[in-house]
Amino acid sequence: MLLDRRGMLKASLAGIGGLSLPALLQQRALAKQSGSTMSNGKSVILLWMAGGPSHIDTWDPKPERPYMNRGPFGVTQTKQPGVFISEHLPKQAAMLDQFSIIRSVDARHSSHQPNMVMQTGNLAAAPRTNPKGLSFPSIGSIVSMFHGANQPGMPPYVAFQKHSSHVGYAGDLGKRYDPFIANDACHLPVYDLVGNDTGRSSGASMFQMPDGLTHPRVNQRRSLVQQIDQLRRDLDQDGSMEALDSYGQQAANILLGGRAQTAFNLDAEPADVRDRYGKHLWCQQALIARRLIESGASFVTLDLSYHSASGTWDTHGDNIPPYGGIAKGLGPLLPLFDHLLTTLVSDLGERGLLDDCLVIAMGEFGRSPIMGTQGSTDGRNHWPAVMSMCMAGGGLRHGQVIGASEPDGGHPAERPVSPGDLAATIYHHFGVPLDATYDDARNRPRYIVEHGEPISELF
């Protein structure tokens, strides 16, 4: 396999066949020189369910199994004949023809906090077991590097994060491809660690310039800083100066250009649309995500977690606050998630954005088939052997269930899907060549996909 990939790369370097990596980089460089953008308009919104949602109690129910296996929830018939999902996802069930559910995701190498395997597509990106786990770039960072933003003046990769360990960073790509952390870019309600609205709101301080600091003065200061940086650049050994220059340029573009600032401004959205999404923090972030990709961002991650530790979807048991078990922990999350997901997908479709925007909802692993963990009677433990996820949009072929788990939901029974397959699917969606490479910390080329192929059923 490695020889085949090397051969593929050599063919690309020779300029043979289709969209090769050098051709892609050359076209992007020319576009950058002309001040324009080279993009196919594709985007991704990742709804990250930090902590690991239970597959059995969401998208892969086992209604005929004993209670301790099937759990406390019933099921609902979906728009796909013979396909059932949790009773607490009725809105998604009614429009499941627009979704694909994957029930056989193999997450055996994945852990959480940091939860990098599923967000990088690389099995070695597990910092708990691999000291170099954080060196592998996230999928969003790869997209930022090889695809870029869809419009000038927009950050390509944006994330709302409850904690940095919930979101994928750039690793060996360098800090310039880290996500643009958007928490302080807009007014949003502030929730405590168990999901209670505190009545306070964030201040959107990112776009507030100090008194007396005008746009011309910002540009003058940037010019002076660039002259000083040029004198120091030869002394830079780790790329920090390049990253700082990239940050400074991005900050100036965002602050002075107006496109990003407008995208983050929910007051510019009609009241009926804001009401449609609702006042909950996650729902308002979903609306901002739609506004961001509409304005030209390429990859937006929403960290759907109240808690800054392992994540709100880490439902070990009702006697283990703040996570709760299945009934009292997961139960309240699902109707909220159902509304958020279906509202976002419907809104994207009505605006003509859904064919270009791929919506993905997943966490880092599933939950144990048998309830009762850590002294709880209704919680489920971590279960990397198999998990479920769903997708919508992106111009892909939906209205299907891909793969299946065993009768008790313990392991994949057919059509296992790997983290690398997911990464390859996303890169294929963006038109990024799967033979693309980046240099690691030792200046050795690494493929962006080392073990994986696009999920063929979707294309």
In percent, the amount of the chain with pLDDT more than 70 equals 80
Q: Is residue 222 part of a domain?
A: no
pLDDT at 16 over 50: no
Count of domains in the chain? 2
Q: Is residue 210 part of a domain?
A: no
pLDDT of 150-185, one tens digit each?
Answer: 999 999 999 999 999 999 999 999 999 999 999 989
Predicted pLDDT of residue 36? 43
Q: Does 33 share its domain with 51? A: no
Q: Does 384 share its domain with 271? A: yes
Question: Please, which pLDDT band fits residue 259 given cuts at 50, 70 and 90?
Answer: confident
Predicted pLDDT of residue 40? 74
pLDDT of 59-90, one tens digit each?
Answer: 999 999 999 999 999 999 999 999 999 999 99
| Gap between the Cα atoms of 184 and 202, Å rounded | 7
| Residues 6+ away with beta carbon under 8 Å from 440 | 135, 172, 446
Q: Does 29 share its domain with 106? A: no
* Alpha-carbon torsion angle 10, 13, 18, 20, nearest 10: 110
Give the other-Cβ count within 10 Å of 129's Cβ.
9
pLDDT of 35-44, one tens digit each?
Answer: 444 557 999 9
DSSP assignment of 195-261: S-EEEEE---GGG-PPTT--HHHHHHHHHHHHHHHHHHGGG-SSSHHHHHHHHHHHHHHHHHH-HHH
Kindly state the average pLDDT of the residues 247-275: 79
Q: Is residue 253 part of a domain?
A: no
Predicted pLDDT of residue 251? 56
Question: Please, which pLDDT band fits residue 17 given cuts at 50, 70 and 90?
Answer: very low
CATH code of the domain covering residue 88:
3.40.720
| Gap between the Cα atoms of 290 and 359, Å rounded | 10
Question: Please, which pLDDT band fits residue 253 given cuts at 50, 70 and 90?
Answer: low
Q: Does 331 share its domain with 346? A: yes
Q: Does 54 share its domain with 187? A: yes
Q: Is residue 248 part of a domain?
A: no
Q: Does 166 share its domain with 302? A: yes
| Gap between the Cα atoms of 444 and 319, Å rounded | 48
pLDDT at 191 over 70: yes
Predicted pLDDT of residue 322? 76
pLDDT at 246 over 80: no
Q: Does 171 share its domain with 298? A: yes
Q: Is residue 174 part of a domain?
A: yes
Predicted pLDDT of residue 228? 46
Q: How does the average pLDDT of the chain come out, rounded? A: 85
Pairing of strands 189-191, 180-181: unpaired
Q: Name the residue range of residue 100's domain.
A: 43-204+259-458
pLDDT of 429-453, one tens digit each?
Answer: 999 999 999 999 899 999 999 999 9
pLDDT at 13 over 60: no
pLDDT at 209 over 80: no
| Gap between the Cα atoms of 78 and 92, Å rounded | 8
Q: Does 165 share its domain with 62? A: yes
Q: Residue with structure tokens 């009401």?
A: 275
Predicted pLDDT of residue 295? 96
In percent, the amount of the chain with pLDDT more than 90 equals 69
Global pTM? 0.85
pLDDT of 355-397, one tens digit each?
Answer: 999 999 999 999 999 999 888 889 999 999 999 999 999 999 9
Q: Does 60 share its domain with 32? A: no
Predicted pLDDT of residue 256? 57
Question: Please, which pLDDT band fits residue 225 given cuts at 50, 70 and 90?
Answer: very low
Predicted pLDDT of residue 133? 84
Q: Does 438 share its domain with 332? A: yes
Q: Does 12 share its domain with 83? A: no
Q: Does 47 share its domain with 34? A: no
Predicted pLDDT of residue 231? 44
